[in-house]
Structure 1
Amino acid sequence: MKKIYLLFAFFLLCLPGKAENLLYLKDKAFNFGGKVGFNATFPIVNSLSVYGVEATDIRVEYKVGYIAAVFCRVNIERFFLQPSLAWHRSEGEIHFNIPEEDITNGVPDINVIDPKNDLNMKTSSLELPILVGYNFVKEGPYGLSLMLGPKLKYNYKVAYTSNFANASPHEYISDSTPFGINLSAGLGVSIGRLFFDFAYEFGLNEVESDFKDKAPIAPSEKNNIRIDKRTNVMSFSLGFLF
């Protein structure tokens, strides 16, 4: 991700024209731009079952993910409409306990109390946000805007890797629907063509996903993971408007 920011900075320095052009943006009916940044995903997990056993003491730990997007903007006085096409990569960990069972080599062993377990989650998605914005401040090179709107999401790659106590890691893949709908709200600060966005998004639909062991040791109908969660993401990005 550092390479992306370096390329972005190099691109800005190589733009033709005087330096003050970067701090001056004419009012246009139409603009387009791009941005890159970071995200932090900490989903709301309503329930989690491992091999048919309900997990307890569920805790979510987020990791830093990445975003990149291109967009266009239709300006109507202080309002604007901004559809985008974005790529998101998010990561995180789910910590939990399994009561009265110990999962060893992928097979439940009943009547044994299991220590805490971990699931590493990685998701890559394509997203289509359609935001409506309002410029509270639009004076000279400075601007402050609020954005709100729906976001259509397609998870083209979802993988969970287990880190169960007394068991070797297993990779799980999902066969559930990859589509989702989120509500996104953001705050943007701009200095001429440069802008900084801070956004928060929340899933409108609960996602019930089944994950099957990619390489099970013993075939079993319960040899899977089921999770019921809702999306919860914060992101920060740096962009340039043409």
Structure 2
Amino acid sequence: MKKLILAAFLIVGTGVMAQTSYGIKGGLNYGATGDYENFSDIAGDATTIEGKSKTGYHLGGFARFGFLGIFLQPELMYTRLNTEYGSIDYKLDKIDAPILLGVNILGPLNIKAGPSFQYILKNELENSNLKVSDVENDITLGYQLGAGVSLGRLGFDVRYEGAFTENTAFSDTASENFSIDSRPSQWIFSLAYSFN
């Protein structure tokens, strides 16, 4: 009986190991952060500007652990997200760590979804004299969902990323009274290369 159990563990373990892969990935993202609000109006009214989507980029690595058509895919990515507020450009640099659960559905096609942990590295305004402070929370939780195609060592992904909670950045000085909702809302287009 012990030999049978040991043999079963070896077979399952070998199967899991045979479906483990890792590699690098990168690509473009297109989206924006939330609204820019300026509270400096004398009457106390806030001026709100909706963020205009712009193109950014991402680069990093991934691992995939698969078994019976289901896989777990943790990633570690550096992401630059760009947003335009009128003549002002807002740049947000972050480390993304999504942990996605996926299913192979038709041949090379798969779908995946899961939480994405985000660590804000830097946020800044360009084309403006305004200074922005750090965001409220350096670490936030969002989500990603999408679909992909695996063709040998190459993989192509399309995903949507959103956020569960607000994460506001405020003006850096008392004379400036504005805030930026730094939550991402973006489409992610990736090319991946697996080493094994």
Aligned equivalent of 2:191: 238
1:125-156 residue CA offsets vs partner (Å, 9 max, x unmatched) = 11111000000023xxxx00001000000111
SS at match of 2:172: strand
Matched residues in 2 for 1:31 and 1:175: separation? 35
Measure, in 2, the Cα distance between the counterparts of 1:233 and 1:82. 20
**1:144 and 2:134 equivalent?**
no
Aligned-residue offset at 1:124: 0.8
Match for 1:48 among 37, 46, 50? 37
Query: In the aligned structure 2, how far is the partner of 1:162 from the partner of 1:226?
Result: 17
1:86 aligned onto 2:112 = no
Q: Please give the alpha-carbon distance, in whole angstroms, between the structure 2 residues aligned to 1:222 and 1:204.
A: 31
Q: Aligned partner of 2:122: which letter?
A: K
Take 2:180 and 2:24, find their aligned partners in 1: how far apart are those partners?
34
CA contact (8 A) 1:161 1:172 kept: no
Normalising by structure 2, report the TM-score. Answer: 0.81
Q: Give distance in 1, aligned partners of 2:130 and 2:175.
A: 15
TM-score by structure 1 length? 0.66
**Residue of structure 1 in register with 2:27 after alignment:** 37
User: Structure 2 unaligned runs (5+)?
Assistant: 1-16
Return the letter of the residue paired with 1:235.
Answer: I
Query: Is the CA contact 2:34–2:180 (under 8 Å) kept in the aligned structure 1?
Result: no
Structure number with larger C-alpha Rg: 1
The residue identity in structure 2 corresponding to 1:186 is G
Distance in structure 2 (CA, Å) of the matches to 1:156 and 1:70: 18
Q: Contact 1:154 / 1:178 at 8 angstroms: preserved in 2?
A: yes
After superposition, the C-alpha distances for 1:54-107 in whole angstroms (9 at most, x for unaligned) are: 114x23222211101201111011000011111101112123xxxxxxxxxxxx
RMSD: 2.1
What letter matches 2:176 in structure 1?
N
User: 1:127 is matched with which residue?
Assistant: 96
Distance 1:155 1:228 in 2: 13
- Number of aligned pairs? 176
Alignment match, 1:223: 176
What 5-or-longer segments of structure 1 have no aligned partner?
Answer: 1-26, 96-117, 164-168, 214-220
SS at match of 1:230: coil
Partner of 1:68: 59
State the Cα distance separating 1:38 from its structure 2 match: 0.4
- Match 1:198 to one of 158, 163, 166: 158
CA distance in 2 between partners of 1:152 and 1:232 (Å): 14
For residues 193-240 of structure 1, give each alpha carbon's deviation from its aligned partner in whole angstroms, at most 9, with x where no partner exists.
111101101111112221315xxxxxxx34242234532011101111
- Return the alpha-carbon distance in structure 1 between the equivalents of residues 80 and 111 of structure 2: 24
Check whether the contact 1:196–1:237 (CA below 8 A) recurs between aligned residues.
yes
Cross-structure match for 2:11: none
CA gap of 1:61–1:131, structure 2 versus 1, over 3 A, is same
CA contact (8 A) 1:135 1:145 kept: yes
